[in-house]
Amino acid sequence: MNELRARLERHGQEQLLRFWDELGEPERERLAGEVGEIDLDLIDELVANLLEDEPAAAAAPGEIRPPEAARPGPEDVLAGRGMLAAGEVAVVIVAGGQGTRLGFDGPKGCYPIGPVSDRTLFQIHAEKVVALGRRHGVSVPLYVMTSPQNHAETAAFFDEHGGFGVEKLRLFVQGEMPAVDRSSGRILLAERGGVALSPDGHGGTIRALERSGALAEMADGGIRTIFYLQVDNPLIAIGDPGFLGAHRRAGAEMSSKVVRKTDPAEKVGLVVVRDGRQEMIEYSDLPDELAERRAPDGGLELWAGSIALHLIDVAFARRLAAGGTRLPFHRAVKPVRFVDEHGNAVEPEEPNAVKFEQFIFDALPLAERSLVIETDRATEFEPLKNAAGPASPETVRARLSAVYAAWLEEAGVGVPRGEDGLPAHPVEISPLVALDSAELAGRVGPGLDVTGPVLLS
Ligand code: UTP
């Protein structure tokens, strides 16, 4: 205890032990454990550099231009299928976030989003992984990143549903970072015997994979490429062979899928090339001048909007982990519940704290080679972020229905549409029935009569 106090005093963080004398033995043990996990040198550095403001990434010098983006060709598709059949691909879904904007009571992956069946995000992703394995005659491993805040609930959910049929399923837990008081930089207590901790951002993925032994397990099992996605977008073509093959054939270490940005104010990260290296600029760091730059054809010059979908080679991830590479931390100013110096719980309405998070895309400039593949927004990008408005349950369900209805039409099935051009009835197709329109065409005939909601599962 004296040692702990001395260590905290050296860093000006002794307030964490303010209520020590009132705590029982188990609470003390927990608090000492939490404090012991905090890298206080790192907190000193982050408080010194990030408490006030973050230097805008885009303000760094250098010439910024758009990346060259390819559309995969038939040879890429063949190469990607070969990678899948050889069992070289694992899927990693990051699901450790707090989903504050959605405001759902539970892990976001448990949100019921299927337009007809209310399938959850986790079920849709897991069924895709199962179907992908069947198609290629392998068992594709699925790794799901949780956080200490939602791990137990996520694990119970997968258990309850038998992992949705995924044979090689493994959950791994990401790290946490303490929140600090916005004006003093002092770490906050969430309760008398507990630090205010929150997940360290999706940039914690590689470290969490390493710490959990998952990276070594992947390498031992012959996995060479990680298909990385966020839990919130159910449209992702998991295991897209064209993307995989193009990445491998280009000798890339980390690749990204992007959509064409048309609205300068759209809230997506931007993939750019600065001085020959690819990187991503988060929308909050993007100066208007860059966002609004026009190409000669009148379109946006910096057009490559990230859909947060990456391929990450296992060897690259291991190199970063072994070299102790630290991705930069970003600041987020948020309201954080805390106990004040009198021990009273305070629920602030205004942002009182700074949280520190890492982003996975900051690994991009560290890759020797990176590839950017363009995809269609209409078929592959509609993430669940908000409770209402854009990127909300309503828009995600509508988009899923629209995509599945188009598959039915490609299979020769007539789908009634309203005056707005949208399907008149919700449509849902389980990934176990078909992963794409071509597969569906082999499963249904034009005889299918659509007179109400359609669920194929
Ligand atoms: P977002 O940054 O959109 O956060 O995460 P969120 O948790 O979904 O929602 P808000 O911002 O609190 O409203 C994008 C993806 O990264 C994962 C999320 O689970 C989501 O899949 N993520 C985010 C993590 O896995 N860990 C983190 O620490 C942060």
Nearest CA to ligand 1 atom 18: 97
* Beta-bridge mates of residue 299: none
Our answer on whether the CB atom of 269 is closer than 6 Å to any ligand 1 atom is: no
Measure the CA–CA gap between 386 and 383, rounded to whole angstroms.
Answer: 9
| Domains of the chain listed by start with CATH number | 1-37 (no CATH), 39-390 (3.90.550.10), 392-457 (no CATH)
pLDDT of residue 60: 63
Nearest CA to ligand 1 atom 7: 97
pLDDT of residue 115: 98
When mean pLDDT is compared across 53-57, 142-146, 347-351, the lowest value belongs to 53-57
C-alpha 212 to ligand 1 mean position (Å): 20
- Give the H or E element holding residue 150: none
Instruction: Show the tokens assigned to 107.
Output: 């892990």
Provide the pLDDT confidence category of residue 55 given band limits of 50, 70 and 90.
Answer: low
- Give the H or E element holding residue 341: none
Per-residue pLDDT reduced to its tens digit, 25-35: 999 999 999 99
pLDDT of residue 304: 97
When mean pLDDT is compared across 37-46, 91-100, 115-124, 437-446, the lowest value belongs to 437-446
Q: What percent of the chain has pLDDT over 90?
A: 92
What DSSP assignment string belongs to 4-54? HHHHHHHTT-GGGGTTGGG--HHHHHHHHHHHHHS-HHHHHHHHHHHSS-P
Provide the pLDDT confidence category of residue 441 given band limits of 50, 70 and 90.
Answer: very high
Give me the helices (H) in 256-313, please: 288-291
Provide the pLDDT confidence category of residue 56 given band limits of 50, 70 and 90.
Answer: low
Q: Say if residues 245 and 136 touch (Cβ distance below 8 Å).
A: no
Atom of ligand 1 nearest to the CA of 200: 28
Measure the CA–CA gap between 54 and 58, rounded to whole angstroms.
Answer: 11
Q: What percent of the chain has pLDDT over 70?
A: 98
C-alpha 96 to ligand 1 mean position (Å): 6
pLDDT mean across residues, the chain: 95
pLDDT of residue 70: 86
Per-residue pLDDT reduced to its tens digit, 77-90: 999 999 999 999 99
C-alpha 98 to ligand 1 mean position (Å): 6
Our answer on whether the CB atom of 430 is closer than 6 Å to any ligand 1 atom is: no
- What are the distances in angstroms from CA 66 to CA 181, 296, 373, 424, 449? 38, 13, 13, 39, 46
Provide the pLDDT confidence category of residue 357 given band limits of 50, 70 and 90.
Answer: very high
Helices and strands in the chain: count of H runs, count of E runs: 14, 22
Measure the CA–CA gap between 240 and 181, rounded to whole angstroms.
Answer: 44
pLDDT of residue 99: 93
Q: Residue 363: is its pLDDT beyond 90?
A: yes
Per-residue pLDDT reduced to its tens digit, 270-291: 999 998 899 999 988 889 999 9
